Amino acid sequence: MTEHSHTSDSYALIQKRLQTQGKTLAERVATLNQTREQTFGKTTSAVIARINVRSENNCVPRDIVRVGEQVLFGYNVFIGMKAATQIGDVFALYHFSGEGEQIALEATDLSQSFLADKRFQDDFSELYSYYKNTKLTHLRVTHHKLLAVFQIGDNHHKLLAVFQIGDNSSDIRVFRWQIEQNG
């Protein structure tokens, strides 16, 4: 017997074992999935509607969250020759209405929203003035206070926005708002 035939026999044996183990694993996964579906139910994801939202600047959409009847979009924006980054350059707020395929978004005046808070405006201006690498990292809605998330409770709502201000992901700054039930 040649060395080549030993190698091919060994390869065939290993391949057969791996195929058998692969089939066994696939069967176990299928059984586990059936049990999961019976226990927790089956959900499917599907696109039910599509809507376009445009921004005034060259930007990269970063995150989107629903806050009551409003939808907050967050962007990372390249301003270019503009002197300063404004709140409206990074955030867009829309009133959300409708269901299913009949949804609509209507732009909300930021000066009449929680984003118009004077303290936030000052902090935001400072953030973009002093930290040249500032980036919005994410927005989240949750029932617990967590770093870098939007938080909405049942009675009083907290909104948190986290920005990355340097090259390292640990270089962050967090803003927090108290939001009333009516937005």
Q: Is 169 helix (H, G, I), strand (E, B) or coil?
A: coil
Q: Is 53 helix (H, G, I), strand (E, B) or coil?
A: coil
**CA-to-CA dists, residue 84 to 73, 128, 131, angstroms:** 20, 7, 12
Q: What is the pLDDT of residue 144?
A: 34
Q: Residue range 137-148: average pLDDT?
A: 53
Q: What is the pLDDT of residue 80?
A: 74
**CA-to-CA dists, residue 173 to 20, 129, 130, angstroms:** 52, 13, 12
- Token pair for 94: 């829309």
Average predicted confidence (pLDDT) for the chain: 78
Q: What is the pTM of this model?
A: 0.58
How many Cα atoms within 13 Å fall on the side-chain side of residue 80? 4
Q: What is the pLDDT of residue 180?
A: 63
Is residue 63 within 8 A of residue 91, CB to CB? The reply is no
- Predicted confidence band of residue 153 (pLDDT cuts 50, 70, 90): very low
Beta bridge pairs of residue 105: 96
Extended beta strands in 69-171, E state: 70-78, 91-97, 104-107, 135-139, 141-142, 150-152, 157-164
- Between CA 64 and CA 71, with CA 65 as vertex, the angle to 5 degrees is 90
Q: What is the pLDDT of residue 22?
A: 94
Question: For residues 101 and 21, what is the distance between their CA atoms, to the nearest angstrom?
Answer: 46
Question: Which residue type does 91 have?
Answer: F
- List, as own/partner pairs, every contact residues 145-151 make where C-beta atoms lie below 8 angstroms and the sequence separation is at least 24, other chains included: 147/174, 148/172, 148/174, 150/65, 150/67, 150/72
pLDDT in tens, 67-115: 778 888 988 887 777 788 888 998 999 998 887 778 888 999 999 888 8
Q: Is the predicted pLDDT of residue 182 greater than 70, yes or no?
A: no
Question: For residues 72 and 67, what is the distance between their CA atoms, to the nearest angstrom?
Answer: 7
Q: What is the pLDDT of residue 146?
A: 28
Dihedral angle computed from the Cα positions of residues 161, 167, 168 and 170, in that order, rounded to the nearest 10 degrees? -30
